[in-house]
Structure 1
Amino acid sequence: MSDPQQNQEEGSEETFISHLVELRDRIIRAGIAVVVVFVGLVYWAPDIFRLLARPLMQNLPRDGKMIVTDVTGSFFVPMKVTMLVAFVIALPFVLYQIWAFVAPGLYQHEKKLVAPLVASSYTLFLCGMAFAYFVVFPTIFRVMAHYNAPLGAEMTTDIDNYLSFVLTMFIAFGVTFEVPIVVVLLVRMGVLTVKKLKEIRPYVIVGAFIVAAVVTPPDVFSQLILALPLIVLYEAGIIAARIFVGTGEKKAADESQAAG
């Protein structure tokens, strides 16, 4: 006669192993998707890097150029850029794999929330990257070129250092544009209220300038380019929380009243 407790432990172990197997399969599928996109783009890797470098090249002095200080840099840096572009393109499929893995453990109302949440987060992150590329990079490089001119210093940069800089900016502005999503989620989960968000506004403003001072180059104009959108997006998050969360709470109250 089998022991019920032993059977329960064996069942739990089998469930855990099956989850690990499924997680492995999801990760493999996501990785294959990124690799497939990368292979499709690798032929244009030099063009993709030139596109990434355009904001700097357009603001360098006449005859200005980028340099390579590593023997393999001219090959691996464009490959890195292409792989990152492939990841961004394949990200919806990667997010779907994550969603498919966690969905069975979610309640029905949570499942309804995930799809618009993922779509809006992805869209806002791309908007943040676009803002950095089209607005921030040209502005920063123009300001830096202006600072270098009176010094008689030649403005050149290694392509690997340039890649590190633009990646930092992409992540910083991509995350910054996620602020409305974070604010709505905090209110939705009951961690904060709209009233409390308004009360802590002065601290958020100070925090925005501190973050901007750490992330951006050490000039006031560059810091304002990050701090001001962060503040504006925080206010947009408060408005969105008031609209969506307030509407949801009202709808739930009406349904509860109708059921009673």
Structure 2
Amino acid sequence: MAKDKEVNEMSFLDHLEELRWHLIRSTLVVVILGSVAFLMRGFIFDTVIFGPKQMSFPTYRLFCDIATYLGFDSAFCADKLPFTIQNRTMAGQFSAHIWTSIWAGFIVGFPYVLYELWKFISPGLYEKERKNSRGFILIASLLFFMGALFGYYVVAPLSINFLGTYQVSKEVLNEIDISSFIATVRASVIACGILFELPILIFFLTKVGLVTPEILKKYRKIALVIVLILSAVITPPDVASQIIVAVPVLVLYQISIYISKVVLKREAKKTGKNVRSG
């Protein structure tokens, strides 16, 4: 009743106004953090963005050591990647600096963005639902950062190593535009960060009755095929790299099935209590 009363007290325009202020505060934090990143140009670009272009990058060293231990030749043991990064437009580097700083602000400020989102959604939940979801921001933030790190240290370097060395002919040189290179790193980091939110998504979809463990199990084989296809697209053409990318996603999918089961069991217990009390 308290929830219904609280929701009814606010009109549609009031909700829009509330949402507007949440968005303003989130944007302000992202801009502030982005401004800090803008001032840290050397670290952001030389160390972070262009790190996967250097063969001294930890991922390349690890795969090189593994290949050497197994007695295989590997492209990861090369001295350098055979491509250059260039700028083709007058404002290209300045634009790349600004947008990279903004995205860096978003990634670092992701927990606060979640916090503002939660503040907007939580008044529409029952007290028990709010209590059961107290760890939402922490867990979702941890999953996002785990995914971002996986994207940066696994997906991004594998993609750059493969795409940067791929040639249809020796007549064609790989001279990659700075915006294209940054987009590859950014997409790998943010896409994996969002992908790792799968357990959170399944939790809420199960709560509203759109997903069940049976549905997830039924389409597990299809999900496996999709994951393997995506792994083959974003990694070099070898089985080991594809497995490295695919395994964490499949583990997340299995965890999601378990989470869906737990949610349904809790809902069943609540229903049972309500029936007995009635």
TM-score between both structures, scaled by the size of structure 2: 0.73
Task: State the partner residue of 2:52.
Answer: 55
The reply to whether residue 97 of structure 1 matches residue 94 of structure 2 is no
- The match for 2:33 is 37
Secondary structure of the equivalent of 2:135?
helix
Unaligned runs of 5+ in 1: 1-11
- Larger radius of gyration between Structure 1 and Structure 2: 1
- Report the alpha carbon displacement of residue 199 of structure 1 after superposing the two structures with TM: 2.3
Report the TM-score when normalising by structure 1: 0.77
Corresponding residue of 1:6: none
Q: Name the Cα RMSD after superposition.
A: 3.3
User: Paired residue for 1:200?
Assistant: 219
Q: Deviations over 1:83-133 (max 9, x none)?
A: 111112222222222222232222223323444233322221211110111
1:78-157, aligned counterparts within 5 Å? Answer: 78-144=97-163, 147-148=166-167, 151=170, 154-157=173-176
Equivalence for 1:252:
270
92-101 vs 70-79, which moves further? 92-101
CA distance change for structure 1 residues 46 and 71 in 2, over 3 Å: closer, same or farther? farther
Decide whether aligned partners of structure 1 residues 65 and 57 sit closer, same or farther in structure 2, where only a CA change above 3 A counts.
farther
CA distance in 2, matches of 1:247, 1:37: 41
Distance 1:35 1:144, change over 3 A: closer
Change (3 A) 1:195 1:162: same
Q: Percent identity?
A: 29
Shift of 1:234: 0.7
Unaligned runs of 5+ in 2: 1-7, 56-75
Alignment CA distance shift 1:70-1:18 (3 Å):
same
More helix, by proportion: 1
Question: For the structure 1 residues 94 and 183, does the alpha-carbon distance in structure 2 shift closer, same or farther, using more than 3 Å as the test?
Answer: closer
Correspondence for 1:7: none
SS state of the match for residue 86, structure 2?
A: coil
- Give the partner amino acid of 1:252: K
Give the secondary-structure state (helix, strand or coil) at the position aligned to 1:66. Answer: strand
Q: Which moved more, 1:55-64 or 1:164-173?
A: 55-64
Number of matched pairs: 247
For 2:255, the aligned partner's letter is A
| CA shift digits 1:49-71 (9 cap, x unpaired) | 22121112337737854211121
Does residue 167 of structure 1 match 2:186? Answer: yes
Equivalent residues of 1:49, 1:82 under 8 A apart: no
